[in-house]
Amino acid sequence: MPLHEDTSPLEMARRATCKAEFIAALSKLRKASGLSYSQIELKTDHRYRVSSSTAQRLCTEQLPKHEVQLRAFLMACDVSAEAIADWVKEWQRLLFS
């Protein structure tokens, strides 16, 4: 990999060719945020709570089933609104491919 290549979680999601690669990008995002799965649960909005067990599954084995679930996870990780739109676009690309 060239030294200048972006390896950020969002860029990983953009380059993902399968669901497992997108899940790996979510995992990298969570680790970069420094949040535990329990902390993610506590930071999610009361309108759509992502439990710690769901957060763990999203980072290890399961693509988010609903856009609102992905958005809640991303907001808990302090992703900007602009970047959330990019994440959703990449999630939709993989979900519907």
Query: How many structural domains comprise the chain?
Result: 1
Q: Within a domain: residue 68?
A: yes
pLDDT band of 15, cuts 50, 70, 90: very high
pTM of the predicted model as reported, rounded to 2 decimal places: 0.92
Q: Within a domain: residue 29?
A: yes
Backbone angle region of 68, left / alpha / beta, with phi > 0 → left and psi within -120 to 50 → alpha: alpha
Q: Which two tokens stand for residue 17?
A: 């060719």
| Cα-based distances in Å from 66 to 5, 25, 27, 70 | 30, 17, 18, 7
Q: Within a domain: residue 41?
A: yes
CB neighbourhood size of 19 (10 A): 15
Q: Within a domain: residue 45?
A: yes
Q: Within a domain: residue 75?
A: yes
Helix (H, G, I), strand (E, B) or coil at 57: helix
pLDDT exceeds cutoff 60 at 3: no
Range of the domain at 77: 9-95
For position 5, what pLDDT does the model report?
73
H, E, C per residue of 16-50: CCCHHHHHHHHHHHHHHHCCCHHHHHHHCCCCCCC
CATH number at residue 81: 1.10.260
